[in-house]
Amino acid sequence: MALNALYINDITDIEPEEAFEIVKRGEHLNPKLLDFAKELFDGTIVNLEKIDSLIIKYSENWALERMATTDRNILRIGAYELLEMKDTPVKVIIDEAIEIAKTYSKEDSNKFVNGILDKIKNVRENPDA
């Protein structure tokens, strides 16, 4: 849900709250899962400038706007989790992002996502990096 809402927000002029509401329609999720998706979405949106600057910094020779929209938003969610959800192990965050890329993006996107998130994890471990 968070990825879908970020995707909609990224490619349209729809306000973030509306993007999330569009994705939420018709979903019958456990309230805890819905809350988690909303937390991922909201946290990513609130920290988007910081997240995008890190993605740009660590994605050598890739302009953010040239990245596949799905990949860009998987990276955004993963970076948000790495930076702000310190109770979640780094390996879990990166592995989940890789699996999402394998499922929803193109071939080899998982390697691209892994490479960038592997660099961003260092910011979590050493904020001055």
Q: Residue 117 in contact with residue 129, Cβ under 8 Å? A: no
Please compute, for residue 118, the number of CA atoms within 13 A of its CA located in the half-sphere on the CB side.
8
pLDDT of residue 88: 95
Here the tokens at position 45 are 């949106």
pLDDT digits over 103-113, tens only? 999 988 999 99
**Residue 128: which pLDDT band, with cuts at 50, 70 and 90?**
low
pLDDT of residue 7: 97
pLDDT digits over 51-84, tens only? 999 999 999 888 999 999 999 999 999 999 999 9
pLDDT of residue 129: 56
pLDDT of residue 107: 87
User: Domains of the chain: which residue ranges?
Assistant: 2-125
Nearest Cα neighbor of 54 from 72, 41, 66, 42 is 72
SS3 29: coil
pLDDT digits over 8-45, tens only? 999 999 999 999 999 988 777 788 989 999 999 999 99
Distance CA 75, CA 54 (A): 10
Given the candidates 1.20.1260.10, 1.10.940.10, 2.40.50.100, 1.10.3720.10, the CATH classification of the domain at 2-125 is 1.10.940.10
The whole-number average pLDDT for the span 109-123 is 95
Q: How many residues does the chain have?
A: 129
pTM for the complete prediction? 0.93
pLDDT of residue 66: 93
Quick check: 101 pLDDT over 60?
Answer: yes
